[in-house]
Structure 1
Amino acid sequence: MTQPEALRSLLESVAAGEVNPAEALDKLKHLNYEPVGDFARVDHHRRLRTGFPEVIWGLGKTPDQIAQIMMAMRDRGSVVMATRIEPEVYAQLQEKVPNLHYYAMARICAIAPTIEPQYSGTIGILSAGTADLPVAEEAAMTAELSGFRVQRLWDVGVAGIHRLLNNRHVIESADVLIVVAGMEGALPSVVAGLADCPVIAVPTSIGYGASFGGLAPLLTMLNSCAAGVGVVNIDNGFGAAVLAGQILRTVNKWQSQK
């Protein structure tokens, strides 16, 4: 059965009283995807199921493939976003996809209307060093494009701890914190010892040889002495932003039901 046929059958069942609206909504959550060429199947109902739309992982895809997927997604009323897009790839995409914006530090390109924060609460994002900014900005732009309020605080690593302590207001005003660090990865533990909210730690692949491409900070964060620290994978700013967003969305949903 094709997707239009399945949708027609479902609507007829609702009209006949055989399926109630709540059951129909649940079925719709798993119905709609769109083939793009012979290389992709775009999940248009991901936002309906999870609260976040499909996002394109740019690495390993050709510019033409990315452009075709974006064009298939652009008329669905939500942000169209691709991550890990290098400048030379964006230059080719710009010729194929109208109204495409590029956030160079985050390596994200997106078709997006002007987005105001849709949820209450603030995601505070801290980076240990300037070299961690591509991952930190990936988290920040992902969160902002998804409708969350973000406050940035860069270059406050433990090598100069006074820089962090002089900006404790960022920690105190956040409802969720994302802390990005390479080298030995100590910053999330320090922040978690000062914070009264969840801390999402992001290890980066920045560091000398013994950091093993981010493995050393990953293990440091997993072994944090401070409580309330969750850890995502190496360089995964995108995943940290989605997790922070899910935390705030859950709080917003709970508050709306009170």
Structure 2
Amino acid sequence: MNDEIKELLEGVKNGNISVDDAMHQLKTKPFKDIGYAKLDTHRALRNGVGEIIYGAGKTPAQIIGIIDTMKESNQDRILITRISPEKADEIKKAHDLTYYEDAKIAIIGGIPKANGKGTIVVATGGTSDIPVAEEAALTAEFLGNNVKRIYDVGVAGIHRTLSHLDDIVDANVIIAIAGMEGALASVLGGLAECPVIAVPTSVGYGASFGGISALLSMLNSCANGISVVNIDNGFGAAYQASLINHR
């Protein structure tokens, strides 16, 4: 898309296309309407990252159609989140992709070489938080970041957290993922000088209210430098972490 815009501007500069015609093309190209979806073809130009497909609620045929349109718009690397194994198998019949079952993520075009400024640490309170953590870790890698995974280091055994102190203090951004009471974010926020992005998960017994308890704990943290995303939103945390890591 950037090459296409550059070519258009060069055409204006060289007198091969009028300013009015160029304006018309720019106004009519920001999205492609394929009936059930309107693909934002200018997102990479505006935000640095192209469209990302949220797979839940979409049929395999719809996702295939969206992928086709994205590729027609020169987007060769595509991330699909919240996609079931069954949908991934159907899409594989039309497009070459890599599927990560824990994260429920599919990637077309591979993971690029990291170009972020530092390391994003993805830490979980427990093993049960790993599916959300893998969504975060793979999204961050897809966006061009070096990722360090530190799993099952919750506060029930604080020595496990402290055994990774070097990774924690050297991180450029930390994504702290925890259910139950969500205390991991506060602990990491008290140890690290970098931003900490807290992700509450829906892991826990009845009084955890499907992640609301962890969400409220993280929002009420007394540690400084913590921001909080929605319950189970590993993708959102990774996107924010990538923006920080590329500043």
Q: Do these two structures clear the TM 0.5 threshold for a shared fold by scoring above it? A: yes
Alignment of 1:1-258 (within 5 A): 14-15=13-14, 28=26, 31-36=29-34, 38-75=35-72, 76-97=74-95, 99-250=96-247
Identify the residue that residue 3 of structure 1 maps to in structure 2: none
Taking the aligned partners of 1:136 and 1:61, their CA distance within structure 2 comes to 23
TM-score, reference length from structure 2: 0.88
Query: Structure 1 residue 29: deviation in Å?
Result: 9.5
Q: Secondary structure at the match of 1:102?
A: strand
- What amino acid is the match of 1:229? I
User: What are the superposed Cα offsets for residues 197-228 of structure 1, whole Å, 9 maximum, x if unpaired?
Assistant: 00000000111111111100000000001000
Identify the residue that residue 3 of structure 2 maps to in structure 1: none
Query: Structure 1 residue 131: deviation in Å?
Result: 0.6
Unaligned runs of 5+ in 2: 1-5
Q: Secondary structure at the match of 2:136?
A: helix
Query: Structure 1 residue 96: deviation in Å?
Result: 2.5
Given that 2:50 and 2:75 are in contact with CA atoms closer than 8 Å, whether structure 1 keeps it comes out as: no
Taking the aligned partners of 2:205 and 2:27, their CA distance within structure 1 comes to 46
Taking the aligned partners of 1:180 and 1:211, their CA distance within structure 2 comes to 15
User: Structure 1 pair 183/29, CA: closer, same or farther in 2 (3 Å)?
Assistant: farther
User: Structure 1 pair 89/217, CA: closer, same or farther in 2 (3 Å)?
Assistant: same
Query: Structure 1 residue 74: deviation in Å?
Result: 2.8
User: Structure 1 pair 211/30, CA: closer, same or farther in 2 (3 Å)?
Assistant: farther
- What amino acid is the match of 2:221? S
Query: Structure 1 residue 31: deviation in Å?
Result: 4.1
Given that 1:74 and 1:111 are in contact with CA atoms closer than 8 Å, whether structure 2 keeps it comes out as: no
Query: Structure 1 residue 248: deviation in Å?
Result: 1.6
Query: Structure 1 residue 113: deviation in Å?
Result: 3.4
Unaligned runs of 5+ in 1: 1-6, 251-258
Query: Structure 1 residue 119: deviation in Å?
Result: 2.2
Q: Secondary structure at the match of 2:180?
A: coil
**Percent identical residues:** 50
User: What are the superposed Cα offsets for residues 162-200 of structure 1, whole Å, 9 maximum, x if unpaired?
Assistant: 100111111012100000000110000000000010000
* RMSD (Å), alpha carbons: 2.6
TM-score, reference length from structure 1: 0.85
Structure 1 moving runs of 4+ over 6 Å: 7-12
Given that 1:58 and 1:84 are in contact with CA atoms closer than 8 Å, whether structure 2 keeps it comes out as: yes
Identify the residue that residue 4 of structure 1 maps to in structure 2: none
Query: Structure 1 residue 68: deviation in Å?
Result: 1.0
User: Structure 1 pair 69/175, CA: closer, same or farther in 2 (3 Å)?
Assistant: same
